[in-house]
Amino acid sequence: MQGKGRNGGTPQRILDIAERLMQVRGYNGFSYADVAETLHLTKASLHYHFPSKAELGRRLMERYTQNFLAALAAIDGTSTSARQKLERYVSIYSEVLANNRMCLCGMLAAEYATLPKSVKAEVTRFFDANEAWLAAVMEYGARSEGLKLASPPAEAARLMIAALEGAMMLARSYGEAARFDRVGQRLLADIAAG
């Protein structure tokens, strides 16, 4: 997922660059100097807008989560079937990978032990919100569309997120987005079949 709000001035441009860098390198793989160089700003200017890297990370995670939740709301607003909602959910991940990026939260989860507390809290909030949305979609699908879940909706949601995040990592390792697509399609087929 790429940040929205481009053209929002210097703070938004800083967040845009930091998001791209974190999705490619991770939290520990970029510095203020990287962002400053890309934007042709001084590090002092970055510190003016984001006093610390932890604050930059926290604000970026807040924005990323808000954008992701807006994407989920758009899915809810335009898709009526649970199956279609799940397909569109998988496509969000696929689109991120197609842009040679990783899910920002997946990248940060891999570095969880070294993240500032405020960033950890936002990563957890992101995954909690995704699990809750997926569980609700799966529960609705099981009730009204005959989806046959092999486990309770909350567990199925956790499994789906774990599989998608892991599939992204493996696809990136092999340089083959098709690996991710096959896993996503298999997950959807397994959910539909029960």
CATH number at residue 82: 1.10.357.10
pLDDT at 35 over 70: yes
Q: What is the largest CA-CA distance in the chain?
A: 57
Comparing C-alpha atoms, which of 154, 148, 152, 155 is closest to residue 190? 148
Q: 25 in a domain, yes or no?
A: no
Q: What is the pLDDT of residues 46-95, one digit of tens each?
A: 999 999 999 999 999 999 999 999 999 999 999 999 999 999 999 999 99
Rg over CA atoms, the chain? 18
Number of Cβ within 10 Å of residue 8's Cβ equals 12
124 in a domain, yes or no?
yes
User: Does the model's pTM come out above 0.75?
Assistant: yes
- Domain-embedded: residue 94: yes
Residue 128 lies in a domain: yes
Q: Which H or E run contains 188? A: helix 177-193
What's the DSSP call for residue 90? Answer: H
Instruction: Look at the chain and report how many structural domains it folds into.
Output: 1
> 171, 177 in Cβ contact below 8 A?
yes
Distance CA 118, CA 100 (A): 27
Answer yes or no: is 36 within a domain. no
